[in-house]
A and B are shown apart, each in its own frame.
Chain A
């Protein structure tokens, strides 16, 4: 049994115009010490899924069904107070977009780390402070800056503080939600390297949520591609990137330039993600898919394992498995 399992997780937001089906029957599993990347366009439900896992939903977010299991223990049924004390940050922590507003501007950065330790562990403030200083040191920030405020840090340094904070209580699973968005490329590389080193050293499991496929290629063992609230393809990063079986994945992979390949034009996927209040019938990707036919419009494709761990939800998976460049054909047509 996997260490962390999500089964058929469904979460809708209630709005005045109807239910927004942000997370709709999502399943995946993570082994201990492994990293899973979740990729997709903005608004595909990947961040909503992260907040669902930590049960930090806004008032209008409602978990409609499914299960989240950690070491076999169901996390969604746990009473709120128990979940807060035993799971949040203690076992599952989160790396937020630190460059933005994840740190409270009126508290000293060191105190924000200490606070997490003092909430979950019965240690003296002196001990908590010492540990927080160690954590800062570990992410490459001079512990002398313990008493500084967030506005005195650069974006990259704030992101490092956020990483240190996520590790404060020695969690088993870290969810990184777009940890490098809004950082410049150099800093982005440094931050990713810091996360990767720490993860390997501490044997952490990780969920990396991003819209940047190259980040996942660099950091993760497995990848799940999300589209319109569902996972459409899942497998080892190598398999999915080298042999995408879903037209959407194939399009995403094509949309990234390959530094090793010759000059080629980057092509985007035409159209935009659907409205999740009233998603398309059948396969949710069909309005943008060059292969869509009557069956795709009517019948929702099942999620099936193709080979090993590689699974896909597409009626036309065999066309892609045959190595046809569907997006190329479309361009020519």
Chain B
């Protein structure tokens, strides 16, 4: 298989070559980000040692500690060590809890991923479904209603809406817990625990879905309307296909590549959105960990959480490229035939 093929005058990459290039560029971006982080933390005013070293220590003790922490090494050596630590996920010790940062992150990551995947899946599904619905009923009252609702929820500030939900369904009509990931103490039995976790998940995930689906719905609606005005839709109708087949098999199928790409490109935004959601619902996750770490000036913890988020962003970008290649034949098949 060749690397490139000339088709319709457009140079298209073979799929494997395309993936390889994307992977390399993803790693490169990660490298640039962590290098940047290294520089930023060292350009900041103040000496990191002042945070853990008591000024009342003797100069000898300070010198010893500085040496132990490697702060006397030339910048290049520090940099190599730093990179080595990140690559091996040795993220240091939290100043506040005195535990390894990686252990604390590991403990919280599953909670974040659960919240994240639930919100993400339901947001995308609901948004796309509503968008298709609106496009199919263009000009109807139902369309105005759903696009209006989408715009409204999109415009509402996340924290405000979430606090409102908490007040409504946690306090006035207390059907959902107002904080946490699981009740304390947790109920007995696996199923009871699972149900309890789900019960805690409803408000945070639900609020994310309500706030997030609007932009999906509007994007899908616009893409669908654009697709529905294409010549191939007239062809499909002329062929006598049912309106359903025209809508799903021709219009939706052809707007899927950009939508799926956008879905994956929105992943990083959701990661950062998790910070607010987790803080408001006291969710035991990475986002709240980051907020706490910053507030307590816990640099290793904050740096670790940032590193994790950077990785999440880069991985989701890479996934977007991968999926785009899979759903758009103009990228995929060109490679197979090259």
Contacts and interface: CB of A to CB of B under 8 A. Distances in A.
A100 B234 contact: no
Interface string A66-87: 0000000000000000001101
Contacts of A107: 250, 253
Interface in B221-252: 230-232, 234-242, 245, 249-250
B254 interface: yes
Q: Is the interface of B mostly helix, strand, loop or mixed?
A: helix
Given A105-B330, A106-B329, A151-B8, A88 B231 contact: no
A89 B240 contact: yes
Given A59-B139, A106-B254, A96 B240 contact: no
Contacts of A11: none
Interface in A79-127: 84-85, 87-90, 93-94, 96-97, 100-107, 115-116, 119-120
B253 A106 contact: yes
Most chain A CB within 10 A, of B232, B245, B254, B337, is at: B232
A100 B242 CA distance: 24
B319 interface: no
A305 interface: no
B100 interface: no
Contacts of A102: 231-232, 234-235
Nearest to B251: A104
B231 A152 contact: no
Contacts of A101: 230-232
A152 B239 contact: no
Contacts of B242: 84, 119
A89 B238 contact: yes
A158 to B, nearest CB: 11
B206 interface: no
A148 B333 CA distance: 8
A149 interface: yes
Interface in B87-101: none
Contact of A115 (B239, B330, B337): B239
Interface residues of A, number: 32
Contact of B236 (A104, A105, A151): A104
Given A101-B231, A105-B254, A106-B254, A149 B239 contact: no
A240 to B, nearest CB: 29
A2 interface: no
A255 interface: no
A88 B239 contact: yes
Nearest to B334: A152
Interface in A212-248: none
A103 B235 contact: yes
Contacts of A152: 7-8, 333-334, 337
A100 B333 CA distance: 20
Most chain B CB within 10 A, of A87, A90, A96, is at: A96
B180 interface: no
B257 interface: yes
A326 interface: no
B298 interface: no
A54 interface: yes
A56 B234 contact: yes
Contact of B231 (A93, A97, A115, A148): A97
B196 interface: no
Interface in B147-206: none
Interface string B296-338: 0000000000000000000000000000000011100110010
Contacts of A103: 232, 235
Contacts of B256: 106
B117 to A, nearest CB: 27
B240 A85 contact: yes
A96 B254 contact: no
Nearest to A59: B139
Interface in A165-193: 165
Given A105-B330, A151-B7, A120 B254 contact: no
Contacts of B237: 56, 88
Interface of B: 7-8, 139, 230-232, 234-242, 245, 249-250, 253-254, 256-257, 328-330, 333-334, 337
5 contacts: A102-B234, A103-B232, A106-B257, A120-B240, A151-B8
Given A96-B234, A104-B253, 14 more contacts: A51-B234, A56-B234, A59-B139, A84-B242, A94-B235, A94-B238, A103-B232, A105-B254, A106-B254, A106-B329, A116-B240, A149-B329, A151-B7, A151-B8
